[in-house]
Every structure is written in C-alpha cells, then in structure tokens.
Amino acid sequence: MKKSRFSVHVFAMAAIIPLTACLSDRDLIVSFPVASMTQASLPQGQAVTEGKEGNVKFCEGDKAISTKEATVGVLDELILRAERQSKSKFIRDVQLFRSAGSANCFELDYKAGVLGAANARPAAGSKSDVN
Amino acid sequence: MLFRWTLLLSAAALLSSCQSMMYAKNVKMIGFEDDIQAGKGAGPIRGEDCQWIVLGYEIGGRVKLDRAFQAARSASNVKGDLRYINNVKTEWDGFNAGNIVAKNCLVVKAMGYR
C-alpha cells in the first residue's frame, strides 16, 4: 500500500515538473528594434536611444485605450500603453509575447525611447576603419 | 413586457462587451532598423506567411507573425529592404475547398519606407 502511494507521488511530481515549466515560458511572437503609435518617423539628424526597461500587458476583455471599437489591435494597444507608461514617443527593443498559460493575454517588453542627435553618418565612398 | 426588455438589455450588454483581437489594426510605425529618420516612400507593401492543410494534414509549421513581417520587409515590389513601415495592419486570408485543401495566411499590410 505504502509502495503504491509512493509511486503515485512520484508520478504526480513527474507530471507537475514539466507542466510548470511549460506554464512559466512565454511565447515570443515578434520583435522589432523600434516602434511608435504616435510618430511616423524621425526628423533628419535625430536618433532614438535606449532608456529604462518596461513591461505592459493586455488580455482579451480588458478596457482598451487605443480604440473604442470592438476589434482591438494587440500591438496598437501594447505599444500605446508602453508609450504612456514610459512617457516617450518611441519605444525600443520591442518584444511581443503570448503570456504564459493564457492564450488571450499578451505582454510587451520594451525600453523607453530617448530622443537625441544622431551620430554623423560616414559620407558615401569614405574609407572605413574596419579592415 | 419587463421580461422582454430585460432580455433585450442583456443581449445588448453581451454584444457590447464582445471584444475581438487582431495583431495590428493601425500601428503608426514599426522600424526594422535603428535608423528611422524620414526616408523615401516605397508605396503600399504586403507580406504573408501561409500554411497549407491537405486532407486534414498540416503542411509546414504554424503561421508566424515574424515571418509575415519579414516577407513584408522584402516585398517583391520593393528594391532593397525597407527600414520602417507606417500604418501597419494584419489580417487573416485563405480558403477552404471542401475540407480537402485549405490555406491559412497571416497577411501584413503597410506603407513601406527605405
């Protein structure tokens, strides 16, 4: 009797360990270097550098801030939330994930975009220092 | 009468709370490179990632959004890779011919810039 209980416990543990491993993994859907919901591009001579890291989440049924319509764009919503959270017009190192254990929840990891002057580009045909 | 109104109001409440999601509805800008300084327009672009299903058997892997974006970036009507895209929208496309052959595609549509 004791032996069979032990087997049940071992079996249960063996089943739980991979299950928790699956639940804790987020599924990366897509990533981009930079994105914005408010700006179409940058003026000449400007660049966006990386600021503070952040994370925003949106689940089906949550109140959307990007639209009042019934259809919500997941990227639209999360990029706008990230911009508001970080108080920036651009976000960098954008990574969209499906949340662990929930098919209808999405997360966005990002870094706040900091606007600054772009480094001067080398003129066309100029020699590079790298051999 | 009261029952009818309650039923109607409940149905309206249910419909108004019904929410559907898509990957991108109208994202202002997505950059493929760090340099997103205003560039030359390349016109409307389209990229897709598709999966065929023959007699219930799935051919190839699952449809992926990153592959659809990659296809949009190197769209055949554009010379060279795009640096960034504006007004980004995704939608599902495809067909099902009597459950014999089916095709599911995730399509990315946008305005491209080099």
The candidate with the shortest Cα–Cα distance to B36, out of B87, B85, B73, is B85
The candidate with the shortest Cα–Cα distance to A108, out of A67, A70, A66, A80, is A80
| d(C-alpha A55, C-alpha A89), whole Å | 16
Q: Are A91 and A82 in contact (CB under 8 A)?
A: yes
pLDDT in tens, A114-131: 988 887 444 433 333 333
Mean pLDDT value across chain A: 82
Global pTM value? 0.78
**Are B31 and A46 within 8 A, CB to CB?**
no
| d(C-alpha A46, C-alpha A115), whole Å | 7
> Tokens 């970036």 belong to which residue?
B73
pLDDT in tens, A94-115: 999 999 888 899 999 999 999 8
Q: Are A34 and A113 in contact (CB under 8 A)?
A: yes
**Are A36 and B29 within 8 A, CB to CB?**
yes
pLDDT in tens, A29-51: 999 999 999 999 999 999 999 99
**B23/chain A closest Cα distance in angstroms:** 5
Kindly state the DSSP code that residue A99 receives in the 8-state scheme: P
Q: Which of residues 60-79 of B touch A (CB under 8 A)?
A: 64-66, 69
**Are A40 and B19 within 8 A, CB to CB?**
no
The candidate with the shortest Cα–Cα distance to B32, out of A80, A34, A118, A109, is A34
Is residue A25 over pLDDT 70? yes
**Are A72 and B34 within 8 A, CB to CB?**
no
Q: Are B27 and A35 in contact (CB under 8 A)?
A: yes
Closest alpha carbon within chain B to A59: B21
Q: Are B50 and B64 in contact (CB under 8 A)?
A: no
**A25/chain B closest Cα distance in angstroms:** 18
- Quickly state the pLDDT bin for B87 (edges 50, 70, 90): very high
pLDDT in tens, B29-54: 999 999 999 999 999 999 999 999 99
**Are A41 and B66 within 8 A, CB to CB?**
no
Give the pLDDT confidence score for residue A22 in this predicted structure: 47
> Is residue B11 classed as helix, strand or coil in its secondary structure?
helix
Alpha-helical runs (H) found in chain A: 2-24, 74-86
**Are B25 and A72 within 8 A, CB to CB?**
yes
Cα dist from A26 to A32, A35, A101, whole Å: 17, 21, 8
**Are B27 and A30 within 8 A, CB to CB?**
no
B52 touches chain A (CB under 8 A): no
> Tokens 């554009």 belong to which residue?
B78
Partners of residue A90 in chain B, C-beta under 8 Å? 36
Kindly state the DSSP code that residue A60 receives in the 8-state scheme: T
| d(C-alpha A32, C-alpha B32), whole Å | 6
Partners of residue B65 in chain A, C-beta under 8 Å? 29-30, 96
